């Protein structure tokens, strides 16, 4: 079989099995078999990029870096809907419809809380997609939409030569919880709700980020239905499902507005159990000829209305206020409540956000409080019913000491938030160690979240400094590890001791001290003791530092736990001095990307060599990349470099060029 035939066969098989897995929930092959087929297709496409098909499932993986989003003028305007907030308003909507068409019926369906997009198909193949924008002009997000597993890349059945559909991209509550957990663990800000997470994911310039976010879609409209001679909305939904789309779930054809109201009431009672967010229900005229007769206003169609559910609120008693220390050290007060059923789940805890919120609402322990779910997801306390107070209620104030480690608590963000910055705080330990070992910090290869978790669970590490005292037997005894893995990890730990001071400063996790500020501090002071003894005023004078970061630096070094950590690192042989070296100009103006395992050098060593010769290091391949240095088991970065025609070299060639 030649390459063209094999690429076609693999593409067909992967598209079929992806639909079975993601749309029908009925997989026919194992994940391993699927991954093997995908790996083979990627290899073939890298060797023969001209043979790759437009609907290739390798696009699901992402990796394309965009300079920005191109504006798109919608061929079919993406109208918004008129909102109604009561059943009487729905009945008034019905009277207006029936004054023009007495025989109208309705389709009632979920109003998914996500981001509206249009998808265009030519000859059954997905060719482009755009956000709604203002309804007339959106943004081209085709590459990111390709990563959404429930968007068919190729239609099935008797599809039309051209099709434009509209759908809502959303994030399941389980995916949202997983995403926020990972972001919190890595010290990144969490998303407020699934809708914000979905919208932010779809507008990532790096499509591989969108691919990681596990987005989904419900398709609910055929935009060019008139050209396809469709007669009803319900029939169009059936057609969409037959072509391979996941359509608007559990819709109902209703002969009257009262039947639609009954549907909306039942949906409201069960919306907490759906597994995804809805912010209402939509009632649409089913007959497309009646829709055309009713027409639209300047802003919205006259044939549809969106019923918006009010946030469900319940009263219960506030039993206590406890402080949770997040993985970034932020102290968050949480209400302990008498359990209450709310939006489909039993709620016994709710966020109080911060001290300022508690003070502004005068919330006290013992109060009868009103609770609701913010964005239908996160329970929050709205306020207290002061008329029910007995006099036994107690005011509450944020503790001055961290409840997890006893360390001093510092206010930030104008005093709205309080934070523990101790490097030995147990609540922050996992994040601290993961960050310490990360690629941009000490770059301890092989020490990822899973291994860190195992080390903490077995009480082998209680501080980043403990990494340098690990024994081979400690590591090889962990699940999934052996003598060879232990030896490799210990070698990486030992090698990290030689890192320049700038990497250590990044690894310490001082607020706002990233790679750039760390490099400037290391060059300016030359050793860690000089930085630790510098005044806030002195630090604030340095470029890329400034007064806020200077304050965070002096606060961190003022802690006993920080000073003890530095002394322990010194005792372990970790470098705390910056060697001043003049940079060469060999690679001036060039950007390098490293991928795979090099024969003799670590990525840290190779990066340092390139930077010493005036080059820059990037983590992703784009048109701006000058050279890719590839080693063994190089993955998607290598394939992308090949497709873009970027120069690819190995370690040997890199060393040869550096030697002149």
Active site amino acids:
111
As a whole number of angstroms, the distance between CA 117 and CA 305 comes to 19
Query: Residues with Cβ < 8 Å from 50, sequence gap 6 or more?
Result: none
As a whole number of angstroms, the distance between CA 603 and CA 581 comes to 19
Query: Residues with Cβ < 8 Å from 235, sequence gap 6 or more?
Result: none
As a whole number of angstroms, the distance between CA 486 and CA 478 comes to 9
Tell me how far apart the terminal alpha carbons of the chain are, to the nearest angstrom: 46
As a whole number of angstroms, the distance between CA 261 and CA 88 comes to 10
DSSP state of 191: P
Inter-CA distances, 310 with 86, 211, 343, Å: 9, 33, 11
Q: What torsion, rounded to 10 degrees, do the Cα atoms 232, 237, 243, 248 define? A: 160
Yes or no: say if 400 and 391 are a contact pair by the CB < 8 Å rule.
no
CA-nearest of 254, 227, 250 to 165 is: 227
Yes or no: say if 335 and 309 are a contact pair by the CB < 8 Å rule.
no
CA-nearest of 156, 151, 279, 125 to 214 is: 151
As a whole number of angstroms, the distance between CA 590 and CA 627 comes to 8
Buried b (16+ CB within 10 A) or exposed e, 140-162: bbbbbbbbbbbbbbbbeeebbee
**Could you give the 3-state DSSP secondary structure of residue 656?**
helix
DSSP state of 479: T
Alpha-helix runs per DSSP H in 213-309: 233-242, 257-270, 288-294
Yes or no: say if 254 and 106 are a contact pair by the CB < 8 Å rule.
yes
Other C-beta atoms within 10 Å of 416: how many?
A: 12
Yes or no: say if 526 and 578 are a contact pair by the CB < 8 Å rule.
yes
**Could you give the 3-state DSSP secondary structure of residue 622?**
coil
Other C-beta atoms within 10 Å of 80: how many?
A: 15
Query: Residues with Cβ < 8 Å from 621, sequence gap 6 or more?
Result: 63, 65, 593, 628, 637, 640, 641, 644, 646
Q: Which long-range contacts (CB under 8 A, 24 or more apart) does 601-605 make?
A: 601/651, 602/443, 602/445, 602/492, 602/495, 603/439, 603/443, 603/445, 604/443, 604/495, 604/496, 604/499, 604/503
């Amino acid at each position: 079989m030649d390459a063209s035939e094999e690429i076609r066969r693999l593409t067909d098989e992967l598209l079929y099995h992806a639909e079975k897995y993601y749309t029908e929930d009925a997989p026919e092959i194992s994940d391993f078999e699927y991954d093997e087929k995908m790996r083979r297709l990627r290899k073939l496409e890298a060797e023969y990029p001209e043979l790759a098909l437009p609907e290739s499932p390798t696009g699901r993986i992402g990796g394309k870096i965009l300079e920005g989003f191109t504006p798109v003028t919608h061929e079919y305007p993406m109208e918004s809907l008129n909102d109604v907030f009561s059943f009487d308003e729905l009945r008034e909507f019905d009277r207006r419809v029936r004054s023009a068409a007495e025989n109208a019926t309705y389709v009632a369906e979920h109003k998914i809380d996500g981001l509206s997009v249009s998808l265009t198909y030519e000859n059954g193949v997905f060719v482009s997609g755009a956000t709604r924008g203002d309804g007339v002009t959106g943004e081209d997000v085709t590459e990111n939409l390709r990563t959404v597993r429930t968007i068919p890349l190729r239609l099935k059945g008797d599809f039309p030569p051209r099709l434009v559909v509209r759908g809502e991209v959303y994030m399941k509550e389980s995916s949202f919880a997983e995403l926020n957990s990972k972001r919190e663990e890595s010290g990144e800000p969490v998303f407020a709700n699934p809708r914000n997470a979905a919208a932010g994911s779809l507008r990532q310039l790096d499509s591989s980020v969108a691919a990681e976010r596990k987005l989904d879609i419900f398709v609910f409209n055929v935009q060019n239905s008139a050209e396809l001679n469709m007669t009803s909305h319900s029939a169009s939904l059936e057609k969409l499902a037959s072509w391979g789309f996941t359509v608007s779930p559990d819709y109902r054809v209703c002969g009257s507005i009262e039947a639609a109201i009954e549907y909306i009431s039942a949906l409201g009672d069960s919306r907490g159990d759906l597994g995804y967010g809805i912010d209402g229900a939509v009632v649409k005229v089913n007959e497309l000829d009646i829709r055309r007769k009713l027409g639209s206003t300047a802003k919205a169609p006259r044939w549809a209305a969106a019923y918006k559910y009010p946030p469900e609120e319940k009263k219960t008693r506030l039993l206590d206020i406890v402080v949770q220390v997040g993985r970034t050290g932020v102290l968050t007060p949480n209400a302990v409540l008498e359990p209450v059923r709310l939006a489909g789940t039993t709620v016994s805890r709710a966020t109080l956000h911060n001290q300022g919120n508690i003070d502004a609402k005068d919330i006290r322990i013992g109060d009868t409080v009103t609770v609701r779910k913010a964005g239908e997801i996160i329970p929050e306390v709205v306020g207290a019913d002061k008329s029910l107070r007995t006099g036994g209620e107690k005011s509450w104030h944020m503790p001055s000491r961290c409840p997890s480690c006893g360390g001093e608590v510092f206010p930030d963000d104008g005093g709205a938030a309080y934070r523990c910055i101790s490097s030995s705080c147990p609540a922050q330990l996992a994040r601290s160690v993961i960050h310490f070992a990360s690629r941009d910090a000490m770059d301890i290869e092989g020490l990822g979240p899973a291994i860190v978790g195992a080390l903490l669970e077995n009480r082998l590490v209680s501080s980043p400094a403990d990494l340098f005292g690990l024994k081979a037997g400690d590591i090889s005894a962990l699940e999934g590890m052996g003598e060879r893995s232990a030896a490799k990890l210990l070698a990486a730990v030992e090698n990290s001791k030689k890192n320049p001071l700038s990497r250590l400063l990044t690894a310490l996790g001082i607020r706002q001290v990233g790679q750039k500020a760390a490099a400037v501090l290391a060059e300016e002071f030359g050793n860690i003791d000089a930085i630790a003894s510098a005044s806030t005023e002195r630090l604030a004078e340095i470029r890329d530092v400034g007064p806020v970061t200077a304050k965070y630096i002096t606060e961190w070094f003022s802690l006993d736990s920080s000073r003890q950590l530095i002394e322990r690192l010194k005792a372990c042989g970790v470098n705390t001095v910056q060697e001043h070296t003049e940079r060469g100009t060999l690679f001036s103006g060039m950007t390098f990307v490293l991928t795979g395992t090099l024969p003799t050098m670590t990525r840290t060593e190779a990066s340092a060599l390139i930077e010493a010769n005036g080059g820059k290091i990037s983590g992703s391949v784009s048109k701006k990349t000058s050279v890719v240095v590839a080693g063994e088991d190089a993955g998607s970065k290598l394939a992308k470099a090949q497709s873009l025609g970027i120069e690819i070299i190995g370690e040997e060639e890199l060393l040869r060029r550096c030697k002149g």
